């Protein structure tokens, strides 16, 4: 017999909310304040120009930035990057830092389902025009060697429990020990390719079983392996130091922690819902479910999240090396001769313990970045000698047809955004609409005519990922550059794309 009526989520626009109609205040051409209002604990700060702001005002994302500002122990400001759009609880393109000494919390919704979804960039000494004759064969070989697609799994090795645990503890270093790349690579990965404090025991059996077969695979959706070339240089000094000479071929990999990370997020959303109740935390949106940083739940989540993050670092390390080997095989030269060095590898979904200054004194904070990238300035101790002068490289992918950017971290970002910047182009068209709009078109032919070789596990996915479905990443990067929270280094254009 059917009983009572409805249960509504609390993030609908017509629900009574924690602040009224949101008030915005323009600070300058690229910054908008959401002044503390209603039950916000801090201000919100949005990076956007007039045009992006018009989109943002109409989107849930600004309200989500304000919601995050209501969380306990948040410090500084609740930040939204120019590529922000609504997500689960936290907006995508959001940054928020919490102080354990002030009852700060950690929230899986502030990290995302795809823990340590991130981007890696390799440079080469090969000029684009010299690569073109071999491009179709190289793309074929990459497609053979790097499994892509929905539920993509590896066929050529098996991970037992002990190995998988090692992956989760040591991340990219595990991969290097297995022959995927060199120790030198580790210096060019955020956090050296492994987060400390990983707790594989906190990763559920379900998550492990999903991840075990997926290490070394791209996945699907907006993940890819993309060959490109340096087509525009904005900062020649930095570009040269990073090995990004004009017209040279680059390889960009966008992927995360696959099913293992997704399952960790799913598992802990439930734990956090329970924790929210237990600790009596009131939330404007249940998807902001969280626990105080000094609680066992928080420790467990961060341990599992770090384990999943390390899985993703190992994943990208493996795939990058397979791409090196694919090049070597087709071009019949060692990859070292081809100068295929790692430029950098960044995460854009995670929560990290970092030291930042709050009211003049350094505090240890838990910084959440969801669809936002760490962008530390020149000289930051975490970057090591290699990047002391140029600052941390930030890799910002655009859609599959236009361009991507490399940007560098700045002092201003360190002061204003906890050393963070944007992560990429956001979608503007639904997947269904994108598919309908390309019906009857030969996408592979269209891309080939534009000089881009596409390989895909599914052209239905390619249809969902066409450039028209995305905003222009150039607009996003321009705002970041002009606001001073990222310094443009080079622009890359695609030559070949492998999609899942």
Partner 1 sequence: MSRTERVPGVRELDHTADVGIEVRAGSREELFHRAGRGLLSLVREVGETDSGAEPDAERRISLEAADAAELLVRWLRELLHLYESESEEYVAAEFEALEDGHLVARVRTCPVQGVAVREVKGVTYHDLDVREAGGEWRARVIFDV
Cα–Cα distances in angstroms (integers) from residue 458 to residues 219, 366, 463, 499, in the given order:
11, 39, 9, 8
DSSP string over 72-115: TTEEEEEEEEEEEE--SSSPEEEEEEE-GGGT-EE-GGGT-SST
Work out whether 3 is an interface residue with partner 1 (CB under 8 A): yes
The window from 156-164, 410-418, 423-431, 484-492 that contacts partner 1 (CB under 8 A) reads 423-431
Q: Of the two residues 33 and 429, which places its CB atom closer to partner 1 in the complex?
A: 429
In sequence order, which residues have a C-beta less than 8 Å from that of residue 492 and are 6 or more positions away?
A: 228, 229, 230, 231, 250, 252, 403, 404, 405, 406
What backbone torsions phi and psi does residue 97 show, to the nearest 5 degrees? -120, 140
Smallest separation, CB 139 to partner 1 (Å): 22
Q: How many CB atoms lie within 10 A of CB 55?
A: 16
Q: Give the C-alpha separation, 58 to 156, whole Å.
A: 48
Give buried/exposed letters for 244-271 (b at 16+ CB in 10 A, else e): bbeebbbbbbbbbbbbbbbbbbebbbeb
Binding mask of the shown chain, residues 201 to 230, with x at each position contacting partner 1 by CB under 8 A: -----x--xx--------xxx---------
Q: How far is the CB of 158 from partner 1 (least distance, A)?
A: 16
Q: How far is the CB of 9 from partner 1 (least distance, A)?
A: 4
Stretch that binds partner 1, among 179-187, 238-246, 393-401, 455-463 (CB under 8 A): 455-463
- Phi, psi angles (nearest 5°) of residue 236: -60, -40
Q: Which of 103, 125, 136, 151 binds partner 1 (CB under 8 A)?
A: 151
Contact segment (CB under 8 A) with partner 1 among 1-9, 126-134, 416-424, 481-489 equals 1-9
The minimum distance between CB 426 and partner 1, in angstroms, equals: 8
- Counting contacts by CB under 8 A, is residue 437 touching partner 1? no
From CA 420, how far away is CA 485, in angstroms rounded? Answer: 7
Asked if residue 46 lies in contact with residue 93, where contact means CB atoms within 8 angstroms, the answer is: no
Candidates 27-35, 414-422, 425-433, 489-497 — which segment interacts with partner 1 by CB under 8 A? 425-433
> Of 44, 181, 426, 486, which one interacts with partner 1 (CB under 8 A)?
426
Query: Per rule CB under 8 A, is residue 57 in the interface with partner 1?
Result: no
Interface pattern 272-291 for partner 1 (x via CB under 8 A):
-x------------xx----
Question: Among residue numbers 72 through 111, which ones bind partner 1 (CB under 8 A)?
Answer: 85, 87-88, 92
Residue 423 annotated as catalytic: yes
Closest CA to 342 of 152, 172, 115, 94: 172
With CB under 8 A as the contact rule, the residue among 9, 158, 162, 439 that binds partner 1 is 9
Nearer to partner 1, 11 or 416 (CB): 11
Task: Quote the CA–CA distance of 310 and 106 in Å, as a whole number.
Answer: 19
State in angstroms the smallest separation of the CB of 458 from partner 1.
Answer: 6
312/483 with CB nearer partner 1: 312
Cβ partners under 8 Å of residue 111, min gap 6: 265, 305, 349, 350, 351, 368, 370
Residues at the interface with partner 1 (CB under 8 A): 2-9, 11-12, 85, 87-88, 92, 113-114, 150-151, 206, 209-210, 219-221, 259, 262, 265-266, 269-270, 273, 286-287, 426-433, 458, 460-461, 500
Q: Which residues are catalytic?
A: 423
């Amino acid at each position: 017999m059917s009983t009572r009526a409805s249960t509504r989520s609390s993030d609908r626009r017509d629900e009574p909310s924690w602040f009224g109609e949101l008030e915005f205040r323009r600070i300058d051409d690229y910054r908008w304040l959401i002044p503390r209002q209603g039950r916000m604990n801090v201000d919100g700060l949005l990076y956007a120009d007039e045009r992006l702001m018009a989109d943002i005002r109409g989107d849930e994302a600004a309200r989500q930035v304000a919601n995050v500002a209501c969380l306990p122990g948040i410090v500084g400001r609740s930040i939204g990057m120019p590529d922000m759009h609504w997500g689960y609880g936290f907006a995508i393109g959001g940054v928020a830092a919490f102080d354990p000494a002030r009852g700060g919390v950690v929230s899986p919704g502030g990290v995302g389902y795809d823990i340590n979804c991130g981007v890696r960039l390799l440079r080469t000494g090969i000029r684009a025009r010299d690569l073109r004759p071999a491009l179709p064969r190289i793309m074929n070989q990459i497609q053979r060697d790097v499994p892509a697609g929905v539920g993509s799994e590896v066929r050529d090795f098996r991970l037992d429990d002990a190995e998988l645990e090692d992956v989760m503890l040591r991340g990219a270093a595990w991969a290097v020990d297995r022959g995927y790349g060199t120790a030198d690579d580790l210096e060019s990965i955020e956090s050296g390719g492994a987060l400390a404090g990983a707790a594989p025991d906190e990763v559920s059996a379900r998550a492990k079983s999903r991840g075990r077969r997926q290490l070394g695979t791209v996945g699907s959706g907006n993940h890819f392996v993309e060959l490109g070339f340096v087509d525009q240089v904005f900062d020649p000094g930095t570009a040269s130091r990073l090995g990004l000479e004009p017209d040279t071929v680059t390889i960009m990999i966008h992927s995360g922690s696959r099913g293992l990370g997704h399952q960790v997020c799913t598992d802990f959303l439930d734990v956090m819902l329970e924790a929210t109740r237990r600790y009596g935390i009131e939330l404007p949106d249940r998807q902001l479910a969280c626990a105080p940083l000094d609680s066992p739940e928080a420790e467990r989540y961060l341990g599992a999240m770090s384990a999943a993050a390390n899985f993703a670092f190992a994943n990208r390390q493996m795939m990058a090396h397979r791409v090196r080997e694919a090049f070597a095989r087709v071009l019949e030269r060692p990859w070292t001769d081809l100068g295929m060095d790692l430029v950098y590898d960044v995460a854009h979904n995670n929560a990290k313990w970092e030291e930042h200054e709050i009211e003049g004194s350094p505090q240890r904070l838990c910084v959440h970045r969801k669809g936002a990238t760490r962008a530390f300035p020149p000289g930051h101790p975490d970057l090591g000698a290699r990047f002391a002068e140029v600052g941390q490289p930030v890799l910002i992918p655009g859609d599959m047809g236009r361009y991507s950017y490399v940007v560098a971290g700045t002092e201003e970002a360190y002061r204003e955004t906890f050393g963070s910047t944007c992560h990429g182009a956001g979608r503007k068209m639904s997947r269904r609409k994108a598919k309908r709009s390309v019906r009857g078109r030969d996408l592979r032919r269209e891309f080939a005519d534009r000089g881009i070789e596409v390989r895909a596990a599914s052209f239905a996915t390619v249809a969902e990922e066409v450039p028209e479905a995305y905003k222009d990443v150039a607009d996003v990067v321009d705002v970041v550059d002009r606001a001073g929270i990222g310094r443009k280094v080079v622009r890359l254009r695609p030559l070949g794309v492998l999609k899942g």
